[in-house]
Amino acid sequence: MSDSGQDGVVVYWRPMCTYCLKLLLLLRFTRLRYTKVNIWKDPGAAAFVRSVADGNETVPTVTVAGRPMVNPSKRHLMEAVRTHAPRSLR
């Protein structure tokens, strides 16, 4: 599940987050390649999430080709992937 960086998809998440678990479960049924980053284990990732979520550690936060999306629906995420990072779809 990795196609990280500016061209790919990165899912920022944390344990026990039901919204994260729901999105990650839905993504299992897609052909999307992505990298997961646990913000509780990566202080830089947590700082990034705060920088795009009005100072909050709102997860899931996803970047698609470097474009942040805070708590996106699967539909919005997949639309962004098709537009900005189609190579992330297998």
Residue 86 per-residue DSSP state:
G
DSSP codes joined into one string, 19-78: HHHHHHHHHTTS-B--EEEETTT-HHHHHHHHHHTTTS--S-EEEETTEEEES--HHHHH
pTM: 0.91
Q: What is the rounded average pLDDT of the residues 12-28? A: 97
Reported as a single tens digit per residue, the pLDDT across 62-81 is 999 999 999 999 999 999 99
For residue 5, name the pLDDT band (cuts at 50, 70, 90).
low
Question: What CATH number did the domain enclosing 57 receive?
Answer: 3.40.30.10
Could you list the residue range(s) of the whole structural domain that residue 30 is in? 9-72
In a domain, 88, yes or no: no
Reported as a single tens digit per residue, the pLDDT across 45-59 is 999 999 999 999 999
pLDDT at residue 90, rounded to an integer: 83
| Number of compact structural domains in the chain | 1
